[in-house]
Structure 1
């Protein structure tokens, strides 16, 4: 029973490994397409996809068959001390779609490890441990990744192996950038960068790491072109740019294959994870050869890029490209975003509806203010579950509903989810005062 499993979970797992829905935590036991079924037999439309990881959805034949073919060889693991055909083939594909000339790819198991590797490459290359990061960002749960995470509730330690200086986020509902036009926002951000470089660094900064759209931060994103404007200033100082595409990559934003492409910029390194494995542990870094090669010692990842995960990754990337899921993300994302804005314009608790493609956030506030309303967020969150829809939460104040449905979402499923969302929000809005 799920209740028994929850008690067992709480008895052996750390207290900080929490589950959604409190005492009503659910165990997912099967899935197909965009739907999952829990241990009680209840089926849900999934708009969160294992935190944007089940990018193609569930029980995808092409992925399952690719993994089964590799399993049938008996080689589940060999390490990179031996050639791994699946790994090389996937690296070739990723290098090709990255847009980076003479690219090299290093595979890891998670986005956290990918960002750690990117920090290693850039700090070695620049011979500096200074990093620029963005407020409200999230880059992982390891030592250095926490240090560059600008989100206090996700930073479990104040200790750090890097020296971090912080830039303003793309937050436009409140804060310093509130009310600015896109052009003024970009000008202010560039001026902020210049001031930070002049005041809180010794000049020889290694890199700026930035999410094109902040994931855990609540799908906050700055105006298009901002990273390109920042890169021009970074180039004046030889500072590298790392694009954290763990959540924004592989066509999820609809308009572009990579989130950075909205910014008229070419990063020096791109980190990727989550969706490329569609549930299998697969992540990595792709970047310029001189940077990725900047490791003056023997190093490898024991499980990163193993035959099973890269077999899945090859099938996932082929599926994304063959079925043009980027275009599908644009179509279905438009149904959701336009539908939400049309249906919820008169609600009191919705502060902002934002996003791009199938990366959508709804921020809830107390009526008549921009003050975060976590209670309303939880009410909507629970109402969605009751209506048969799984969504996520996030944001600096925990008041943002996050949605990252599988990129295979159909138009009918988008409308179905939209109806459940609208009803859940209107229910919570009617209770507000």
Structure 2
């Protein structure tokens, strides 16, 4: 009864719009490795990792020790008005890893705040309130980021501080260009971008914001090279390219450290969050130095880049690189995707299996290929009953999202595949 009692209290004091998973929501009470245990004592294999945030898993001594060491100093917070050694060290590492020339880094508390910062930088730098965004995108729940979110289910207001024009490309499965070859798909999307620029903007657009893989949008992705082709057009107009790496960063896609690298292009700025802190609240922007330094007013962050979060993030980044978790994501992601595609062969309810590395989407459809959110909800519940936590998303709420910690093992992938095969 522990869950029912807490649920009643939750509903009494928390917003009605704050979503909870499952017909009978659960509270996670303890965790280790890739497994979590709820308050009523049931243990699950976690293949959603706190929405891709627990990138290394749970109860990792190297990370916990780094946080404890900082706590032992008594300095949990100082604000960015003071020098913070771990903040500087982390910024140096990220600037180098970014591949962006003369990069500088600003830390925030979340991906939403990071994307808000990127919007403010780009619009101020370009002296323009026009922004290009992709259909089916999601960039956060603040005023500006909701405005550039191309998914009505997550857009809580029609009001906007920016003028947004929408471009095709990110969600291929239901795109009007779906049946084209990769090369023709890219050509069609580039033509659409040019038409949008010529018909719905004044030309002096501030930036285009893209997710290399659309996260909330159901782990949908375009062919490699699309964003390089977009960048050629953007450069003609002087438009900045911002890559939202909140979900795709830190090697999760397997083949590259940043999702945008699959397209062979270096963006003007990248935003990041989630997996960097392995559960600690941290986000940020890494951008060209001239772009980052373009603010003309004072600005600080009270909590962004605080000593505890940056100490934990440094330990997380060290662990990720020292254990080559990017390679593990590539290897086991391929195994997961291949296994799901085998399962899907004789299951017409599965319309698409897609993704890269340990970002995998399974789109559920009806008899005529229409979106079937009820099936996705049933898989979510069935997986829970089988001892597996997964996510759900997509434009129509009909996509199962799989994103286990990057430390996941072969045996755990096979365990998850067995559960999903039974449920599907």
Q: Mark yes or no: TM-score above 0.5.
A: yes
Question: 1:357, 1:18 → 2: CA distance?
Answer: 27
TM superposition shift of 1:170:
2.7
Which residue number corresponds to residue 345 of structure 1? Answer: 345
Which residue number corresponds to residue 417 of structure 2? Answer: 418
Which residue number corresponds to residue 11 of structure 2? Answer: 10
User: How many residues end up aligned between the 2 structures?
Assistant: 423
TM superposition shift of 1:391:
0.2
Task: Tell which deviates more after alignment, 167-176 or 56-65.
Answer: 167-176
Contact 1:148/1:164 (<8 A) preserved:
yes
Secondary structure at the residue paired with 1:236? helix
* TM alignment of 1:376-387, pairs within 5 A: 376-387=375-386
Contact 1:171/1:177 (<8 A) preserved:
no
Question: 1:348, 1:315 → 2: CA distance?
Answer: 44
TM superposition shift of 1:299:
0.3
Which residue number corresponds to residue 271 of structure 1? Answer: 271
Which residue number corresponds to residue 175 of structure 2? Answer: 175
Contact 2:135/2:171 (<8 A) preserved:
no
TM superposition shift of 1:171:
2.3
Secondary structure at the residue paired with 2:114? helix
Question: 1:271, 1:170 → 2: CA distance?
Answer: 18
User: Once the two structures are superposed, what CA deviation does each residue of 1:133-190 show, in whole Å capped at 9, x if it has no partner?
Assistant: 0000000000000000000010000000001011013322223112011000000011
Question: 2:151, 2:344 → 1: CA distance?
Answer: 29
User: Once the two structures are superposed, what CA deviation does each residue of 1:93-134 show, in whole Å capped at 9, x if it has no partner?
Assistant: 000100011100000000000000001111111010100000
Which residue number corresponds to residue 90 of structure 1? Answer: 90
| Unmatched 5+ stretches in structure 1 | 426-433
Q: TM-score, normalised by structure 1?
A: 0.97
Question: 1:164, 1:70 → 2: CA distance?
Answer: 43
TM superposition shift of 1:348:
1.5
Question: 2:183, 2:59 → 1: CA distance?
Answer: 45
In the alignment, does 2:269 pair up with 1:241?
Answer: no
Question: 1:171, 1:303 → 2: CA distance?
Answer: 35
Question: 1:396, 1:402 → 2: CA distance?
Answer: 13
* TM alignment of 1:186-205, pairs within 5 A: 186-205=186-205
Which residue number corresponds to residue 224 of structure 2? Answer: 224
Which residue number corresponds to residue 331 of structure 1? Answer: 331
TM superposition shift of 1:89:
0.4
Secondary structure at the residue paired with 2:237? coil
Secondary structure at the residue paired with 2:271? strand
Question: 2:8, 2:245 → 1: CA distance?
Answer: 36
Report the RMSD for the aligned CA atoms in angstroms. Answer: 0.7
Structure 1 consecutive aligned stretches of length 4 or more whose deviation exceeds 4 Å: none
Question: 2:369, 2:192 → 1: CA distance?
Answer: 24
| Unmatched 5+ stretches in structure 2 | none
Contact 1:218/1:395 (<8 A) preserved:
yes
Which residue number corresponds to residue 431 of structure 1? Answer: none
